[in-house]
Amino acid sequence: MDLQTGKFYWDTTLQNPPTYPPLQEDISCDVLIVGGGGSGTQCAHYLSEYGLDVVLVEKNKIGYGSTRSNTALIQYAGEKTFLQLINSFGGDYALRHFLLCKEAINEIEKISSSLEISPDFTRRDSLYYASCKEDVSKLRQEYDLLKKYNFSVEFWTEKEISKKYPFQKYAALYYINDAELNPYKFTIGLLEKSKKKGVRIFEQTEIKGKKFEKDKNIFHTDKGNVIHAKHVIMAAGYECLDFKNEKNTVMVSSYAVVTNPIKDFSSWYKRSLIWESARPYVYMRTTPDDRIIIGGLDENITSPKERDMKLTHKKNLLIKEFQKLFPNIHVHPEFYISAFYGGTHDGLPIIGKYEEFPNCYFLMGYGDNGTVYSMALAKIISQVITKGSHQDLDLYLQTRPFLNLQRNHKI
């Protein structure tokens, strides 16, 4: 899959990243992880804690998949609101998902503080504003539900917003204690930590073919070597779909720019994350070197050529959208990307378990909070492999009730 194009930012923030050798012999292991992005690395981290013999293979360079395009707003509230998730799955289900996401953010924070390569994890609040007047009542409903379940969120009126930002919006939800990080440094830092615990890592090693025998999976690499594994985690990001089609997934094209460094952020309240109720939406955050990341304007485009042809136009539009909010901050794009971005129809990430892939787990942390979803899913999958079960596995299996099949309004 041609995942993305552009001038990338994150890898410029880490000088001389470690490199790993290609696999050049046949090997065996307890767990094979296919994919060296954020998701594969999160799995390697959990599994390394259990002392298993873990191998991670990456066809390209570590962190050069979608992880490289990740704008890394770290939030639990996603594209589908709490109310929409309740309507699709029922109250208990939606609440459990939100709590697991909150737990995953805490986990990312804890891990980040233990890494030698710091991923610049910083707690930030999020402003989610109503893009039009009609959305105000939806925000109010969402607020009431979130408050009922003790989530730290405030409802802001037009007056409160304009006191804190240089723009006017009808209303907003203000989420306390979300976060931002550097996804590339997080991936490299975490993998280095796992390497020290014995995880074997191979770059430039592509999985090309597979065969399943009784209690072993046999995977063939592009260099003709064979990997025997008791368990396999497919953490190939959106390229999981090259191995197995999954009907609940949807791919679109997304865009992002990273601006020049800015001197004065005094008009940007707490350098919060900002996004909106419109679909598709525009979102923004700042970086530790005082740049601004602006992203969004997704389109239903699945041809890489068509996606990339729109990059210049979208780059300009994103800057324009930003200037509408902050006319006093003058920016120009220094980095810019167009990328495929995957979500799911029902708004939850997926753990795929398929008959034709025995002892294999597909980690599809698809959705706007991909980093958080992958963290939660990596923990679940790792526990299923090491302990035989996890109470939340059913929540994310691809066999879950799909698209309003189950309605259970317990909230």
The residue ranges that bind ligand FAD (CB under 6 A) are 34-40, 57-60, 64-67, 69-73, 206-207, 235-237, 239, 254, 256, 295, 339, 341, 365, 369-372, 374
CB of 117 or CB of 339, closer to ligand FAD? 339
CB of 66 or CB of 248, closer to ligand FAD? 66
Ramachandran assignment for 206, one of left (phi > 0), alpha (psi -120 to 50 degrees), beta (any other): beta
Least distance from ligand FAD to the Cβ atom of residue 114, Å: 20
**Alpha-carbon distance 284 to 381, whole Å?**
32
Ramachandran assignment for 119, one of left (phi > 0), alpha (psi -120 to 50 degrees), beta (any other): alpha
Least distance from ligand FAD to the Cβ atom of residue 390, Å: 19
Residue 75, both tokens: 């939030």
H or E element at residue 315: helix 311-325
**230 within 8 A of 267, measured Cβ to Cβ:** no
The DSSP line for 154-201 is EEEEHHHHHHHSSS--SEEEEEEEEEE--HHHHHHHHHHHHHHTT-EE
Q: If you count them, how many residues does the chain have?
A: 411
**Alpha-carbon distance 385 to 69, whole Å?**
30
CB of 35 or CB of 119, closer to ligand FAD? 35
CB of 13 or CB of 87, closer to ligand FAD? 13
Residue 22 burial (CB count, 10 A): 16
Least distance from ligand FAD to the Cβ atom of residue 380, Å: 15
**183 within 8 A of 115, measured Cβ to Cβ:** no
Least distance from ligand FAD to the Cβ atom of residue 405, Å: 25
**7 within 8 A of 337, measured Cβ to Cβ:** yes
Least distance from ligand FAD to the Cβ atom of residue 407, Å: 28
CB of 151 or CB of 255, closer to ligand FAD? 255
CB of 4 or CB of 88, closer to ligand FAD? 4
**108 within 8 A of 372, measured Cβ to Cβ:** yes
CB of 364 or CB of 385, closer to ligand FAD? 364
Position of minimal CB gap to ligand FAD = 370
CB of 65 or CB of 90, closer to ligand FAD? 65
H or E element at residue 218: strand 216-221
Residue 342, both tokens: 């995957």
Least distance from ligand FAD to the Cβ atom of residue 213, Å: 20
CB of 295 or CB of 347, closer to ligand FAD? 295
CB of 90 or CB of 349, closer to ligand FAD? 349
Least distance from ligand FAD to the Cβ atom of residue 215, Å: 23
CA-based angle 17:273:158, to the nearest 5?
170
Least distance from ligand FAD to the Cβ atom of residue 280, Å: 12
Least distance from ligand FAD to the Cβ atom of residue 207, Å: 4
CB of 264 or CB of 356, closer to ligand FAD? 356
**Alpha-carbon distance 261 to 289, whole Å?**
7
Least distance from ligand FAD to the Cβ atom of residue 237, Å: 2
The DSSP line for 114-169 is T-SS----EEEEEEEE-SSGGGHHHHHHHHHHHHHTT--EEEEEHHHHHHHSSS--
Least distance from ligand FAD to the Cβ atom of residue 295, Å: 6
Dihedral angle sign, alpha carbons of residues 173, 174, 177, 180: positive
Nearest-10 Cα torsion for 122, 155, 367, 46: 40
